[in-house]
Structures are given as structure tokens and as C-alpha cells.
Structure 1
Amino acid sequence: MLASRSLYAALPSQVKQDKSSFAGKADHAIRIEPCTLEISPGVNIQTLAYNGQVPGPLLRLREGVPVTIDVTNSSQNADLVHWHGLAIDSLNDGAMEEGSPMIAVGETHRYSFTPKPSGTRWYHTHAAAYDNLAMGTYTGQFGFLLIEGREQPARYDKEINLAIHHWGPSFVPMVETMREQSSNMPLTTGSDVGYKYATINSHRLGAGEPIRVKHGERVLMRLLNASATENVVLALPGHKFTIMAMDGNPVPNPKSVEVLSLAVAERVDAIVEMNSPGVWVLGSTLAKEREMGLGIVIEYAGKTGTPMWTDPAPEIWDYTQFANASASPHTPDEIFELTFRDFGPKPGSKFDTWTINKRSWPDIDPLMVQQGKRYRLVFRNGSGDQHPMHLHRHTFEVTRIGKTKISGLMKDVINVMPLDTVEVEFVANNPGDTLMHCHQQLHMDYGFMQLIKYSV
């Protein structure tokens, strides 16, 4: 554990912001504070949250309109907020690896930026947790960040924001347990985190109010996987999800599916046509996860009774169905080949160390890019785990999944399956230090990160 803490020793620490920068009242205010969350009758979670609620306050911002957000740290540890999916400067991005300052206990920090691009983004803590599973994204520090542009993704009658989270984390050494209750389905043995409970928004399945709909409504569901380490697979029996956007970006080929997959940090905007009256469960396709609470009741007007669930037909999640079937017409200026592997735990640690090309953060050289050029990142997963790869401050185009070439699918998180290869390309159009990492908290804490730096 002592060795693990050294990973962040050379990074910006608890910086007090010059109060002269606090000109006038901020547009929004967020407080990081302890919260007791009753996720079902008699089941209380002690966690950290934003403004005492989970998810945190819904932030609706206008694309291109400057905004200020004051964040006050009323917790017991330094922390910071990452504005996930925004093309903003490194200082305000909210990642200490890029130079964003940690917010000291009792201090208020003002974030100032111009939000872009439009779409479903989110905000969350970017603090390390290591083996303290009451820190980082294991907590309730997350919220929806909707950047409104000129165009709507589709016509709809009602919008619903649904954030998935897992609670009660603990060390789980046996992969067999993970296979029973997790959609991650690791191929190899090793250390991992398991959970007691799961929620959609602030309640377990059957607790809280149902989502009430009317026959014939078109409902826009914004779904966010805000879990620390758990990927999820969801279904709503009797209905289909028409996928309109991924990670806030419109997909080239909107398509209806019965089952959708959300890796950690991914978002999906889907239109669901309410054409099957009844009382249904929207939830995990795994019975064990539904028992943990991963679901919510959908109730049609005038309908009562026990919520219904039927198992969907087995379906393999395929990103390529939402993309153009043609290869990207662009040629990258440079290609970076990156191989991910698990090298087991270091002495004194419960959890495994992760490497990119046999190097772990912070002992890893940055990838150097030049402004205006196009780069291909070849993600080679040499491990038995799934890895949701996230690129800060940029949006990338997915250009290959396995052997299939595609184009037009723009994302900021892509899930790389065990022993698979995925290729993405991005344009270096936002100068400043940029972090790339696996979004599983457990993996990034133990080395799975690398910086991209712009050449001067």
C-alpha cells in the first residue's frame, strides 16, 4: 500500500486558489460532503456525494457559453471534479495527472470553462482510491452534465436520466464469484472488487418510485454507467432501445436492440417507444445483479401488478452495428501500438498491477503529439479483463473492432474485450496534457494510465 501511494507523489497537491479569481457568484455550486443514502428500506449507504444527493445535481449547460462552477470540499480528504467528455483546458479538466489542482479540505475551487461539445456528458471525482474502497468512484460522487446544442437527437415526449452504480465494495479474490454476479466476466483468476448492492439512480429495484409512462409515448432514456469497476448489460422486456447517441455523440446508424451494454463511464441515449402496456423491470440481464438491486420498475398508466421480467435472447454487444460499414477515409500521421497486461500484485498490495507496453504509471513515458495531426491508438488487450479505455479532453473515432473496419462512431470511452484489439483515431486539436486510462478505478489506481503531451 505504501508503494501504491508513491504513484501520485510528484503530482499537484492541495492547492489553494487565489480568491481574486472568484469574481461574482458562480453559475453553479457543488459541495462534496458525507451522505447517508437509503437505497432500499433498512439498507443505508454511508458515502460521499454532491450536495447530499445521488446522482448529484443535474447540470444543463449551453454549448459555447462560458460557465463557472464552485466546488467546496466538505469531505475529509483532498478531492477534485472531472468534467468527463468535455474538450476543455487541462487545468479545469479535473485530473491531477494533467495539472488540475486537488481541492484541499474545507476549501472552495472555481472551475471556469466553455463547455463543448454538445451531448450527454457527466461529472465525477477523479481522486485515487487504491485499497480504500470508500474513496474515488466507489462513492456517490457523480452526476449528469448535459451540454445543450442547437439540435435535439430525436423527437421524444419525455426524458429520463438513469445512472447505474454499485455499492458495498469489498476485495474478491475468486474469479468464479465474479462470473456469477458480474457482466465483466474475467477469463483469468486474480484480485478484483465485488459488491453487495446496485442501484439505478438512488434506489434498488423495487424501492423508490417507478418510472411512470403512457402508452404511445416516446421516451428518451439517457443511461450512464457510473460504477467504479462494473460493466453492465441491460434489457427492458417487451421493448427495444433505439440507440441514437453514444457518449453524447450521435451515431451514424441508429438501430433498435433488445439488449444494451454499458461499460464503466459509457453513456447511451436511446429512444424507447412505450408500446407494450404493463408493469415491467428495466434491469440487468443477470439475475444475481437484479437481486442486488440493479433495476427499476417501468409502470404504464392504469396498470398494476407485480413487475414482469423475461430473459432476453442471448445477444453479443457489437459496436459496429451503429457505425458506418466503410473504413475511415483518413490516414493517421502516426500510429501508437499499446498492449495492456496484468502483472499481478506488488508486495503489500491486494490488487494487481497493470501495464501499458510493460510500463506502469507513473513510470511510463508520455505519447508525444503535434497539434493538428491525426493519431491512431491501437489498443491490444493482452489480459483476460475488459477495459473501458477513456481519452480525456478529446473525442475519438472508432475505426476497427477486431478485424472489422468501421467509421463515423465517435466516443470518449471504448470497451476493449479480453484478448481483442480495438483501433481509434483522434485529431490533436486541444493542446495541453491529456490523460488516457482504463476507467475501471481499480485498474487506473494500479498503473493503467498514460499521458499524451503536445510538442511545443
Structure 2
Amino acid sequence: MTFSRRHLIKSTAALAAASALPMPAWARGLSVTDAKKGFGEVSGENIELAIGNHHFNTGGRSGHAIAVNGTVPGPLIRLREGQMARLNVTNNLDEGSSIHWHGLLLPFQFDGVPGVSFPGIRPGERFSYEFPIRQSGTYWWHSHSGLQEQAGHYGPIIVESATPDPRYDRDYVVLLSEFTPMHPHDIMRKLKVGEHYFQRDMLTATEGEMSGEMRRMWGRMRMNPRDISDVTGSTYTFLVNGHGPEDNLELAFNPGDRVRLRVINGSAMTFFNLRIPGVPMTIIQADGQDVDDVEVDEFQIGVAETYDVIVSPPAGSHAIVAEAMDRSGMGLASLTSHAGHIATAPALRDIPTLTMIDMGMMDHGGMEGVNEMGHSMRDTSKLPGDVEAGPGVDMIAPMPMDRMDFPGLGLDKVDHRVLRYTDLKAKRMNPHRKIDREMEIHLTGNMERYMWSFDGKKFSAVTDEPIRFGYDERVRVKLVNQTMMAHPIHLHGHFFELVNGAEHMHQPLKHTVVVQPGGTATFDLTANEPGDWAFHCHLLYHMHAGMMQVVTVRPFPDGKPV
């Protein structure tokens, strides 16, 4: 039996009507306009943003998208340090929506997380976010409703400093993301069925130099050493400023220019390794905050992180290469002094392979203790600290180590300079504060069931048990990654100081930290922003699957929220 598209749409519409489920216009077969690639710019005291259903295509892939002001990504929002911003958001979708202002310090009521800090924006409604701009730097915005971020609902923010910066002549946003025609809820369903669904380059039984005993150990773990990314280039087209590699995006410069690139990882699931072959990069900011200059040739940027770099390219065309960490594809743009000349992209490099260290094991070059290791990784009755670990935990790293000096999977053996968290030092001086208390939070998961959590508990199970901080309390937080995947962990409403070996008054400030597989990361937090704040893994499907919590900071200094 065959079905026409019209028949299928009518049948689906009838089913939706029968079950009283709303159906968006794009699914009803109604005309949906194409979203423009790239973004315009909005600024001023009153900014209008409209969220709507659109169609998007790039690189031979096309499908539904959620665009803001008709573009994917949505518009660059340019603000000024010290101004009062009013951002009026109209939701033209058939479902609730929201915007979170990632990295901006603001009253928690305007942070934009439905169910945590406000109710969300219902279909057809308009909501005004209004708050003072207390900082400068490179940030971004995105939906915090459902999985809309994957569909195109995100964009960049630049907050201009009250003091001009004379170090550069040109200024570009380099916003990295992905596009897929697959509906994000379909992606989630496929990951729940089998976490390897999108993998196309798994290690075979005969490939590589791995010993037979090591292969058997990986088999006992029910893991593959190339299980690097949950969703890959088999489904994603990787974008730079909304443009796929075939779009030949050009960023112009004149010989002698100093060019500032504001690199934002606005993707749903992809860690990128960014380099400009032959052109050194000087990092000047991390997550919008000034750091001492660090010259590198490549850096890994986790989901939701930002890095600002200054480059002085020689005349010609140079490839800006954003290679996915699992080497399944890349985003591309040309930094060129010759309009119309496209830089030649390098070939994809070999796929990295997970090691014993990524399991949270010391790698002594031998196989002693493999059986004990496999047993330890599967013995999940309790997490350290006697935290009960239920069915959402299928492994515990036996010996997790501080991995602040690790540059990211695939970059630890390259022969050029790569960024490590231990390279970062805050340019400004942090206030001197002693630590009031210390706490540990465990990053946990069950790969086979695609369950992700903190301390073995999904967000849905802990909504009445937030992480509590006293107002202005100084807490040292140690994140322990019990899993074999890197997790970018983001705390809303605050900056924290990475405990990365820098002198304590120059520990770098960040809002997102990548916790490496089988490793730990530690930060010092002064909880001086009262309210209720989301705390979560910024891999979209990990957050959706449960790796999220609420941080509550109380009391309010004046006794009530404002």
C-alpha cells in the first residue's frame, strides 16, 4: 500500500485531533518560510525578538527549524555595559518557549528557565525581560524549553565594554553549531533505544593495537573505545554562523589587521577543536572574562563555552577549522584578504580512542588489575560518600583524577601548542576569601539506558531537593565524573573560579567547565546571586535525560526577591 504526502499529513492531523494534541503548522503541511542563514544585529534599549517555525537547508540537508527574527542562528544582540536592557520576546510557536541569557548576571526571574525561574512564554504570548547590564564580553542566548535549541533557537550576544579595547582592528563572531533535519525528539528516542545509534566508526574486533584482554575488558564494560560523541556527522551538518562547509563563508580582513574572533560553541552536542592552520591565536578571554594572553595553535571548546582570540593573519586565505571532537565532520569558514578566494580545508584527522585514564584508571602501561577494574566499574551499589546509586548508574570510576591539564580528547598527542585549563589566569584580581565549606557532586550515567544524572538521581527525582548555598557563602565544589564522556557543566547566574593551579587571587572565572572522562574538576564559588538557578550538563540530550539540578541561594539580602 502506498501513501501520498497529502494523505499522510491528513492522517496524522486526524490522529492529532483525535488525541487532542496540538500540531504545529509545519507538520500540518502549511506554508513555512525559509530561515535565512546567518544573523543580523539588534541593539538599543528596547529589542524585539520573535520566535517562529521555519524551514532551513544547508549541505543537501533540509528540514524544520525554529528561527528567531527569521534567521538561524537568531540575531546578534549587541548591548553596552551599564545600560538597562529590555528584550521583548514574542512566541509564535504552537508550544511554550523561552530565552536564557547564557553567562549574563541578572535577577533570577529573568534567567529564562521554565519551571525554575519563570513559567515560560506560552504560545502567542509576549514576555519582556528587563535587567541592567553589569558586565562586558562575549556571551550567547538560547531556548531552555524542550529541545528547541537543537532546532535553531539560539544566537550570540556581545556586550561592549565601557572602556574601548585598542588591541584589535576587526571583530567577528564565530558561532559554532549543528543542523539536522531529524526532529530532536526523534534523536532522543533513538539514543534511548541504543546509545551507539549515530556512531559510524566504532572500533572493530580486529582493528588497532589493543590486546585481546583489553578488548574483553571493554566488552565487559559494554563500551566501545570510540564512543566519543552521542550524535555525530552522520546526522549533523556542522555550522559556522549558520553556514555549512559548502556555503563558503568568508570573513574579510586587510593585511596587517589584528582580528578578534569571538568563538562561541552554541551547539547542542558537539565539542569542537578549533584551529587556523599556520596562524597562531592569542586567547584574551574565556567565557567573556579577561585572562592573561595565551598563544596557542588549537583549542578545544566545550558546548556553551566561549573563547575570544586575536589573530594577525598574513595576506591570503586561511581556513577557520572547527573539527568535531570525534572527527566526524567540521565547520568551516575562510578568513581572507582576497574576496571570493576560499581557503583549502585540511583533511579530517584520525578518530581518537578512549583509554584506561578515561575510565578513571591510572594507566601504568600494563594490564594488571583489569579484572578488578572491570568489577569496580560495574559495582554500582554506592557512590563514594555513601550516595545510593540506583539503576541510573552503570559505572563508577575507581580512581578519578584531576584532569585540568588535559587539553581534550584527540589533542593530547598533537605536535603543536594546545590550550589547557591550567594555562588560564584571570587578568583581574579576585577578592581574597577563605573557603567556608567543601562539597562533591558526582556526574553519573547509564549508557545503555541513556540515563544521565547528578549523584545517581535524575532531575525529575530531585526537584524537591535543590543544592543549597547560603547567600555570599564561599564553597569549593569538586565535580567527579564517574562516566566515560566529557560533560560541560554550566551554573546559571554566577561565575566561579577554576581551581586550576593558578594563584588563588588569579584563578580564572568561568560559567561552564568541561569535566573530562573519569576525571575531576574543582571550582570555588561565591554564591552572591540570590534566587533559584539551573545547574546542568550543557549536552542537550544529557540535560533532557536528567543531568540537571536546581541551585538555591538564600536568603535575599533585603529579605525578598526583587
TM-score by length of 1: 0.82
Give the alignment's Cα RMSD to 1 decimal: 3.1
Question: What CA distance in whole angstroms lies between the structure 2 residues aligned with 1:439 and 1:324?
Answer: 24
Question: What CA distance in whole angstroms lies between the structure 2 residues aligned with 1:380 and 1:288?
Answer: 23
1:64 aligns with 2:82: yes
Question: What CA distance in whole angstroms lies between the structure 2 residues aligned with 1:151 and 1:54?
Answer: 31
Q: In structure 2, give the amino acid aligned to 1:70.
A: N
Structure 2 match to 1:269: 308
1:257 aligns with 2:296: yes
Question: What CA distance in whole angstroms lies between the structure 1 residues aligned with 2:316 and 2:177?
Answer: 26
Displacement of 1:287 in angstroms is 10
1:406-421 → structure 2 map (5 Å cutoff): 407-421=506-520
Structure 2 match to 1:146: 158
The correspondence for 1:447, drawn from 543, 546, 549, is 546
Displacement of 1:384 in angstroms is 0.3
* DSSP 3-state at the match of 1:217: coil
Alpha carbons 1:120, 1:145 under 8 Å: kept: yes
The correspondence for 1:81, drawn from 99, 109, 118, is 99
With over 3 angstroms needed to count, the CA separation of the structure-2 counterparts of 1:160 and 1:302, relative to structure 1, is: closer
Structure 2 match to 1:342: 445
Question: What CA distance in whole angstroms lies between the structure 2 residues aligned with 1:52 and 1:204?
Answer: 18
> What is the total number of aligned residue pairs between the two structures?
412
Alpha carbons 2:199, 2:230 under 8 Å: kept: no
Structure 2 match to 1:214: 254
1:32-431 → structure 2 map (5 Å cutoff): 32-40=51-59, 42-129=60-147, 136-153=148-165, 155-168=167-180, 170=187, 171=190, 173-174=195-196, 177=199, 187=225, 192-194=230-232, 195-251=235-291, 253-275=292-314, 277-285=315-323, 292=329, 294-301=331-338, 304=341, 307=344, 309=346, 313=415, 317-323=419-425, 330-344=433-447, 352-364=450-462, 365-400=465-500, 407-431=506-530
Q: In structure 2, give the amino acid aligned to 1:230.
A: T
Alpha carbons 1:175, 1:188 under 8 Å: kept: no
| Per-residue deviation, residues 260-294 of structure 1 (Å, max 9, x unmatched) | 2110011111001112x3222211346985x8451
Q: In structure 1, give the amino acid aligned to 2:317.
A: V
Alpha carbons 2:90, 2:124 under 8 Å: kept: yes
Question: What CA distance in whole angstroms lies between the structure 1 residues aligned with 2:330 and 2:460?
Answer: 37
With over 3 angstroms needed to count, the CA separation of the structure-2 counterparts of 1:193 and 1:307, relative to structure 1, is: closer
Alpha carbons 2:176, 2:241 under 8 Å: kept: yes
Question: What CA distance in whole angstroms lies between the structure 2 residues aligned with 1:150 and 1:435?
Answer: 29
With over 3 angstroms needed to count, the CA separation of the structure-2 counterparts of 1:175 and 1:320, relative to structure 1, is: farther
Question: What CA distance in whole angstroms lies between the structure 2 residues aligned with 1:355 and 1:244?
Answer: 34
Question: What CA distance in whole angstroms lies between the structure 2 residues aligned with 1:400 and 1:157?
Answer: 32
| Per-residue deviation, residues 228-262 of structure 1 (Å, max 9, x unmatched) | 011110111110110000110001x2111110211
Displacement of 1:391 in angstroms is 0.6
Displacement of 1:87 in angstroms is 1.3
Question: What CA distance in whole angstroms lies between the structure 1 residues aligned with 2:254 and 2:511?
Answer: 34
Displacement of 1:220 in angstroms is 0.4
| Per-residue deviation, residues 48-101 of structure 1 (Å, max 9, x unmatched) | 011111221111112232111111111121110001111111111001242212
| Per-residue deviation, residues 343-379 of structure 1 (Å, max 9, x unmatched) | 3465xxxxx1112122221322212111122111111
With over 3 angstroms needed to count, the CA separation of the structure-2 counterparts of 1:156 and 1:45, relative to structure 1, is: farther
Q: In structure 2, give the amino acid aligned to 1:284.
A: A
What percent of counterpart residues are identical? 26
Q: In structure 2, give the amino acid aligned to 1:88.
A: L
Question: What CA distance in whole angstroms lies between the structure 2 residues aligned with 1:177 and 1:265?
Answer: 23
Question: What CA distance in whole angstroms lies between the structure 2 residues aligned with 1:383 and 1:94?
Answer: 29
Alpha carbons 1:213, 1:299 under 8 Å: kept: yes
* DSSP 3-state at the match of 1:400: coil
Displacement of 1:309 in angstroms is 3.2
Higher strand share: 1
1:432 aligns with 2:531: yes
Displacement of 1:146 in angstroms is 1.4
Question: What CA distance in whole angstroms lies between the structure 1 residues aligned with 2:322 and 2:342?
Answer: 20
Alpha carbons 2:86, 2:128 under 8 Å: kept: yes
With over 3 angstroms needed to count, the CA separation of the structure-2 counterparts of 1:179 and 1:430, relative to structure 1, is: farther
With over 3 angstroms needed to count, the CA separation of the structure-2 counterparts of 1:174 and 1:160, relative to structure 1, is: same
Question: What CA distance in whole angstroms lies between the structure 1 residues aligned with 2:509 and 2:546?
Answer: 26
Q: RCO higher in 1 or 2 (8 Å CA, sep ≥ 6)? A: 1
Q: In structure 2, give the amino acid aligned to 1:216.
A: G
* DSSP 3-state at the match of 1:193: coil
TM-score by length of 2: 0.67
Question: What CA distance in whole angstroms lies between the structure 2 residues aligned with 1:188 and 1:302?
Answer: 40
Alpha carbons 1:73, 1:106 under 8 Å: kept: yes
Tell me which moved more, 169-178 or 89-98: 169-178
Tell me which moved more, 237-246 or 147-156: 147-156
Displacement of 1:141 in angstroms is 0.9
Q: In structure 1, give the amino acid aligned to 2:48.
A: A
Alpha carbons 1:174, 1:191 under 8 Å: kept: no
* DSSP 3-state at the match of 1:380: strand
Alpha carbons 2:251, 2:335 under 8 Å: kept: yes
Displacement of 1:158 in angstroms is 0.6
With over 3 angstroms needed to count, the CA separation of the structure-2 counterparts of 1:288 and 1:93, relative to structure 1, is: closer
Tell me which moved more, 203-212 or 107-116: 203-212
Tell me which moved more, 61-70 or 254-263: 61-70
Tell me which moved more, 186-195 or 440-449: 186-195
* DSSP 3-state at the match of 2:488: strand
Displacement of 1:115 in angstroms is 2.0
Displacement of 1:154 in angstroms is 5.1
With over 3 angstroms needed to count, the CA separation of the structure-2 counterparts of 1:303 and 1:359, relative to structure 1, is: closer
Question: What CA distance in whole angstroms lies between the structure 2 residues aligned with 1:265 and 1:224?
Answer: 7
Tell me which moved more, 68-77 or 192-201: 192-201
Q: Indicate the structure (1 or 2) with the bigger Cα radius of gyration.
A: 2
